[in-house]
Amino acid sequence: MANKKILMLVGDYVEDYEAMVPFQMLQLVGHQTDVVCPDKKAGDTVVTAIHDFEGQQTYSEKRGHNFAINATFDEISESDYDALIIPGGRSPEYLRLNARVLEIVRHFARENKPIAAICHGPQLLTAAGVISGRSCTAYPALQPELVAGSAEWVEPSGGLDSAHIDGNLVTAPAWPAHAAWIRAFLEVLGTPLVS
């Protein structure tokens, strides 16, 4: 198995688990994962948000950890990467306003490279105009936005614990889906898994 080079797009108040867990899991299986954020360089940090499901009509939000950026946004070339991962949380809502971020997302879609997006991460796919005609899932509150972007909404069959694959695109509704989402992403990457 050839190790892959993966790019992760984050910003302040990215969802804590949705950034840290995939970052650690991808390293565990030997993939290099570069975490970048606009206007930040290697050694800087972003603040994360912890979202939880505690019985209210929507998730709760608390301040999380400081998550280290290990690559400099202005120095990366998307063509150097095999795959893209887009965590959710609050950051996608403002990262989608950054033209360079959208250019990066479009590259991965155009080149049919694996893309994993979770929770609010698909907001970047919609803003980049690459979700039309694709089937996907996300945090349920994103359904109207994805449908308006001409995506085919897939109701999470296993609730918040499930993932969906459409070709090179792997999506999931929230961090409870990590096992299914990361497994599906590793399959799309061609990473051998134990059954």
Q: For the segment 172-181, what is each residue's pLDDT rounded down to a tens digit? A: 999 999 999 9
For the CA atoms of the chain, what is the radius of gyration? 15
Q: Is the pTM of this model over 0.85?
A: yes
**Alpha helical stretches, state H, 111-177:** 122-127, 143-148
Domains parsed from the chain with CATH numbers: 5-189 (3.40.50.880)
Q: Taking a C-beta distance cutoff of 8 angstroms, is the pair 50, 88 a contact?
A: no
d(CA 142, CA 119): 8
The label of the residue with tokens 């999380």 reads 64
What is residue 55's predicted lDDT score, i.e. its pLDDT? Answer: 80
Helix H, strand E, coil C: the string for 20-38 is HHHHHHHHHCCCEEEEECC
Question: Using 50, 70 and 90 to split pLDDT, how confident is the model at 194?
Answer: confident
Q: Indicate the average pLDDT of the chain.
A: 94
How confident is the model at residue 58, as a pLDDT? 72
pLDDT for res 78: 98
Residue corresponding to tokens 């049919």: 112
Q: Which burial class, exposed, middle or buried, applies to 149 when counting CB atoms under 10 A from its CB (0-12, 13-18, 19+)? A: buried
Q: What is the pLDDT of residue 128?
A: 98
Of the candidates 145, 182, 150, 151, the residue with the CA atom closest to the CA atom of residue 166 = 151
Q: Which two tokens stand for residue 69?
A: 């950026």
Q: Note the pLDDT tens digit of each residue in 149-162.
A: 999 999 877 678 89
pLDDT at 109 over 80: yes
